Structure 1
Amino acid sequence: MYINFNENTENSFDAIVVGSGISGGIAAKELAEKGLKVLMIERGPQNDHISSYKHALTPPWEMPHRERITNEIRERFPYMTSEGGYPVNETNDHFWMPFEESPYIREKPYDWYRGFGTGGKSLLWGRQVYRWSDLDFEANLKEGVAIDWPIRYKDIAPWYSHVEKFAGVSGEKLGLPHLPDSEFQPPMELNCVELDLKEKIKQKYGSERIITIGRVAHLTEPTEEQQALGRASCQYRNACAKGCPYGAYFSTNAASLPAAMKTGNLTLLSNAAVSEVIFDEETQKAKGVIAIDRETKESKEFFAKVVFLNASTIGTAHIMLNSKSARFPYGLGNDSGMLGRNLMDHHSRAGAGGRVEGFTDQYYFGRRANGFFIPRYRNIGNDKRDYLRGFDYQGGASRGRGNTAGKPSFGAELKESLNEPGSWSVYMSAFGETLPYEENRMYLHETEKDPYGIPKIVFDAEIKENELKMRVDMKNDAAEILEACGVKNVFSFANEKPPLGLSKHETGTARMGHDPKTSVLNKHNQVWGCENVFVTDGAAMTSSGCVNPSLTYMALAARAADFAKNALKRGDF
Structure 2
Amino acid sequence: MIHLNLTAKAANTYDAIVVGSGISGGWAAKELCEKGLKTLVLERGKQFEHVKDYENATKDPWEIEHRGRLTTGQVKDHPYLTRERVYSGFNDKYWIKDTDSPYTESKRFDWTRADIVGGRSIMWGRGSLRLGEQDFEANAKEGIGVDWPIRYKDLAPWYDYVEAFAGISGQAEGLPQVPDGVFQPPMEMNCFEKAVKGRIETAFPGRKMTMFRTANLTRPIGERGSCQYRNLCDRGCPFGAYFSSNSSTLPAAAKTGNLTLRPDAIVNSLIWDEKAQKITGVRVIDKHTKEMTEYYAKIVFLNASAMASTFLLLNSTSTRFQHGVGNDHDIVGRYLMDHHFHAGASGTSEEFADKYYYGRRPAGFFIPRFVNLNGDKRDYLRGFQYTGFSARGNWARGVAELGVGAAFKDYLTEPGPWQMGLMSFGECLPYYDNRVVLDRSKQDAWGQPVLQFDAEFKENEKKMRKDMDGEAVAMLEAAGLKNVTPFNRDSFPGQAIHEMGTACMGRDPKTSVLNAWNQVHAAPNVFVTDGACMTSNACQNPSLTYMALTARAANHAVEELKKGNL
Counterpart in the other structure of 2:463 = 469
How many Å separate the matches in 2 of 1:412 and 1:161?
57
1:495 is aligned, of 468, 482, 489, to 489
Deviations 1:420-474 (A, max 9, x none): 2111100110000000111111101132111112111101001000000000000
The CA deviation string for residues 260-300 of structure 1, in whole angstroms up to 9 with x for no partner, is: 10000000000010010101122221100001000000000
Aligned: 1:219 with 2:217:
yes
Q: Identity of paired residues, percent?
A: 53
What residue is the counterpart of 1:187 in the other structure? 186
Could you list the per-position Cα deviations for residues 99-149 of structure 1 after superposition, in whole angstroms to 9, with x for gaps in the alignment? 023210011001000111100000010000000111000000000101100
CA distance in 2, matches of 1:9, 1:151: 38
Among candidates 282, 295, 302, match of residue 289 of structure 1? 282
Distance 2:317 2:534 in 1: 23
Give the match's secondary structure for 2:11: coil
Q: 2:303 aligns with which of 296, 307, 310?
A: 310
Q: Residues 64 and 414 (structure 1 numbering): CA distance in 2 closer, same or farther, change over 3 Å? A: farther
Equivalence for 2:55? 54
Q: Which residue of 1 aligns with 2:136?
A: 137
Aligned to 1:66: 67
- Of 414, 425, 442 in structure 1, the residue corresponding to residue 419 of structure 2 is 425
Hey, what's the Cα distance between the residues in 2 that align with 1:384 and 1:319?
A: 41
Q: Which residue of 2 aligns with 1:555?
A: 548
Query: Which residue in 1 is equivalent to 2:435?
Result: 441
Equivalent residue, structure 1, for 2:239 = 246
SS, match of residue 51 in structure 2: coil
TM-score by length of 2: 0.97
- State how far apart, in whole Å, the 2-side matches of 1:336 and 1:8 are: 33
Q: Return the alpha-carbon distance in structure 2 between the equivalents of residues 319 and 118 of structure 1.
A: 19
* Aligned-partner SS, 1:288: strand
Shift of 1:19: 0.2
Which stretch has the larger CA shift, 69-78 or 281-290?
69-78
**Do the aligned residues in 2 keep the contact of 1:5 with 1:11 (CA within 8 Å)?**
no
The residue number in structure 1 matching 2:89 is: 90
After TM superposition, which residue ranges in structure 1, 4 or more long, deviate above 4 angstroms? 3-8, 411-416
The one-letter code matched in structure 2 to 1:493 is F
Q: Is the 8 A contact 1:4 1:301 kept in 2?
A: no
1:564 aligns with 2:565: no
Counterpart in the other structure of 1:233: 226
Q: CA deviation at 1:61?
A: 2.4
Question: How far did 1:529 drift?
Answer: 1.2
How far apart are the structure 2 equivalents of 1:345 and 1:412? 50
Alpha-carbon contact 1:284-1:529 (below 8 Å) kept: no
Within 2, Cα distance between the matches of 1:68 and 1:370? Answer: 24
Corresponding residue for residue 325 of structure 2? 332
Q: Does 1:256 align with 2:254?
A: no
- What is the DSSP-based 3-state SS (H/G/I as helix, E as strand, rest coil) of the residue aligned with 2:366? strand
Residue 14 of structure 1 aligns to a residue whose secondary structure is: strand
1:335 aligned counterpart, secondary structure: coil
Distance 2:47 2:148 in 1: 36
Deviations 1:154-207 (A, max 9, x none): 11111001100000000000011111101000000011111011000111012x
Residue matched to 1:364: 357
Q: Secondary structure at the match of 1:367?
A: coil
The DSSP-based 3-state class of the residue aligned with 1:500 is: coil
CA distance in 1, matches of 2:452, 2:90: 30
Q: Distance in 2 between matches of 1:483 and 1:77?
A: 40
CA deviation profile, 1:363-385 (whole Å, cap 9, x unmatched): 11100000010000000011111
3-state secondary structure, aligned to 1:65: helix
Q: 1:393 offset after TM fit, Å?
A: 0.2
1:162 aligns with 2:161: yes
Match of 1:455 in 2: 449
CA distance in 2, matches of 1:414, 1:38: 62
Q: Give the counterpart letter for 2:294 in structure 1.
A: E
Structure 2 residue matching 1:138: 3-state secondary structure:
helix
Residue 77 of structure 1 corresponds to 78
8 A contact 1:185–1:221 mirrored in 2 = yes
Write the distance in 1 (CA, Å) between the matches of 2:128 and 2:440. 38
**1:522 & 1:287 partners in 2: Cα distance?**
20
**Amino acid corresponding to residue 153 of structure 1 in structure 2:** Y
Residues 391 and 433, structure 1, Cα contact 8 Å, conserved in 2: yes
Gap regions ≥5 residues in structure 2: none
Look up the SS of the partner of 2:181 in the other structure: coil
- Alpha-carbon shift at residue 560 of structure 1 (Å): 0.4
Q: Distance in 1 between matches of 2:543 and 2:176?
A: 20
Matches within 5 A, 1:510-549: 510-549=503-542
Are residue 380 (structure 1) and residue 373 (structure 2) matched? yes
Matches of 2:95 and 2:104 in 1, distance apart? Answer: 18
Q: Which runs of 5+ in 1 are unaligned?
A: none
Which deviates more from structure 2 when the two are superposed, residues 559-568 or residues 279-288? 279-288
Query: Post-superposition shift, 1:8?
Result: 4.6
TM-score of the pair, normalised by structure 1: 0.96
Paired AA for residue 50 in structure 1 = V
User: Is it true that 1:481 corresponds to 2:475 in the alignment?
Assistant: yes
Distance (whole Å) between structure 2 residues aligned to residue 99 and residue 6 of structure 1: 38
Q: Deviations over 1:4-46 (max 9, x none)?
A: 8757522110000000000000000000000000000000100
Contact 1:44–1:272 (8 Å) recurs in 2:
yes
- Supply the distance in 2 between the matched residues of 1:131 and 1:475 (Cα, whole angstroms): 24
1:6–1:284 Cα change, 3 Å: farther
Letter in 1 for 2:217: L
Note if contact 1:73-1:89 (Cα within 8 Å) is conserved in structure 2. no
- The Cα of 1:414 is off from its aligned counterpart by 4.4
C-alpha displacement of 1:98:
1.4
Structure 1 window deviating more from structure 2 (69-78 vs 245-254): it is 69-78
> Residue 542 of structure 1 aligns to a residue in which SS?
coil
